[in-house]
Amino acid sequence: MDAILRSLIDGLLLGFVYGIAAMGLTLIWGVMNVINLSHGSLISLGMFSLYFLFTGLGIHPYLAVVITAILGLLLGIVIYAIAVHRIINAPHLSTLLATYSVNMIILGIGTAILSTSPYNVPFDLGSIKVATSVVPTTRLIAAIVAMLVAGGLYLFLQYSRLGRYIRAVTDNREAAEIVGIPSAQILAFSFGLGTMLAAISGGLIATFFPFTILAGGAYELKSFVIGVLGGLGNPVGSLFGGLILGAIEGLVPLAMPTTWTPVLEFVLFVLILLVRPTGLFGGSE
């Protein structure tokens, strides 16, 4: 029983961080029907941003997460303007390939400069007791930061003027334009927000796991699974999807070898796509 609880807590804490990575992916999908295949490399960039801010400039990691977030927002807006805006109304293949080409560019330059060897942020806050189990403090803080970010995003989308614009563009871009919402700017900003979430999750992961420039790819695949679990285009659902995935990753190893976890995850992913493409919590399409 103790072991189960410990694994569950481990998994859930990680799940929050997965959740905000997926939130970035699903926000972009919801607003502009684009699946961002550069998501993984943006997560990697978040990791390295934190690494260089901390080891290079000596900035405290959690302040570095804030700076990483701002850089992510700006980078996302740039990516949107260069690679996505021209083809925003083209068939899906175009946007899939355009974002994938951004992925290739980032990974190509990244591998040339950083190689693919693992990096590690030398930062440790010891351990802390949660319920009956002991977890590294960095993980607990990461989960709390992720919760705050998710809550902040929800409030932002729900109550701020800009957030309401984003929801209007999500619902109906033409109608939003008719009532005077500058949709191009809103789309660019939404892409920036999605990128920002990817960068934050990367930064948080870097505080407790070692990483390479290619590490983001695995989290991108997790984000797909979570996005589909929670409903693509439903940012709040993503947080729950992240928790479900975290719980699966925590609990499955108790019953069978860890290597079976991805099999279960991807079978679940395909099944949910087939049975409920709007996600477990999604409404109608």
Partner 1 sequence: MKSLRQHTSLWLSLGVIVVMGAWPIITGNALSRETMFTVLRSVALASSLNILLGYTGYVSFGHVVFFGLGGYVGFYLIAVQGWSLWAALLAGGVAAGLLAYLVGAAILRLRGAYFALATIGINEAVRAFINNFDPFGGPTGMTLNFKIYKLYGGPGAALQLAFYVMIGLTLAVVLLSYWVRTSKFGLGLLAIREDEDAAEVMGVTAPAAKTWAFVLSAVIPGMIGAIFFFKNGTIEPGLAFPLHTSIEMIVMIMLGGQGTVLGPILGAAGYEALRDYLLVSPVFKNIQLAISGILLLIIVLFIPRGAVGWVRQRYAKVRRWLI
Of all helices (H) and strands (E), which one includes residue 129?
Answer: strand 127-130
Contact 37, 99 (CB under 8 A): yes
Nearest distance, CB of residue 159 and partner 1, angstroms? 30
By C-beta, is 7 or 103 nearer to partner 1?
103
| Strand pairing report for 133-136 and 127-130 | antiparallel
Distance CA 266, CA 153 (A): 28
Question: Between 183-206 and 161-171, two packed helices, what is the crossing angle to 10 degrees?
Answer: 110
Chain centroid to CA 255: 28
By C-beta, is 70 or 266 nearer to partner 1?
266
Nearest distance, CB of residue 112 and partner 1, angstroms? 4
Nearest distance, CB of residue 218 and partner 1, angstroms? 10
Nearest distance, CB of residue 226 and partner 1, angstroms? 12
Residue 187's nearest CA partner among 23, 19, 66, 30 is 30
Distance CA 285, CA 268 (A): 20
Residue 134's SS3 state is strand
By C-beta, is 126 or 257 nearer to partner 1?
257
Distance CA 240, CA 16 (A): 8
By C-beta, is 180 or 283 nearer to partner 1?
283
Residue 176's nearest CA partner among 160, 164, 194, 188 is 164
End-to-end Cα spacing for the chain = 40
By C-beta, is 96 or 184 nearer to partner 1?
96
Nearest distance, CB of residue 236 and partner 1, angstroms? 20
By C-beta, is 17 or 102 nearer to partner 1?
102
Nearest distance, CB of residue 260 and partner 1, angstroms? 6
User: Which residues form the interface with partner 1 (CB under 8 A)?
Assistant: 29, 33, 35, 82-83, 86-87, 90-94, 96-98, 100-109, 111-112, 221, 224-225, 228, 257, 259-260, 262-263, 265-267, 269-270, 273-274, 277
